[in-house]
Amino acid sequence: MRNWQKAATGRARLVERIVKVESYAGYRSDERPVRLVFGERAEEVKMVEDRWYSPGATYFRVVVESGDRYILRHDDVQDVWTLEGFRGATGPTGGARLIH
Distance of CA 75 to the CA centre of its chain: 13
Contact 33, 60 (CB under 8 A): yes
pLDDT (average), residues 85-90: 86
Gap between the Cα atoms of 68 and 88, Å rounded: 5
Res. 77: pLDDT tops 50 = yes
The share of the chain scoring above pLDDT 90, in percent, equals 55
Grouping H, G, I as helix, E, B as strand and the rest as coil, residue 39 is: coil
Averaged pLDDT score across all residues of the chain: 81
* Least confident range of 11-25, 39-53, 69-83: 11-25
| Neighbour count for residue 60 (Cβ, 10 Å) | 22
Q: Give me the mean pLDDT over the 11-17 stretch.
A: 61
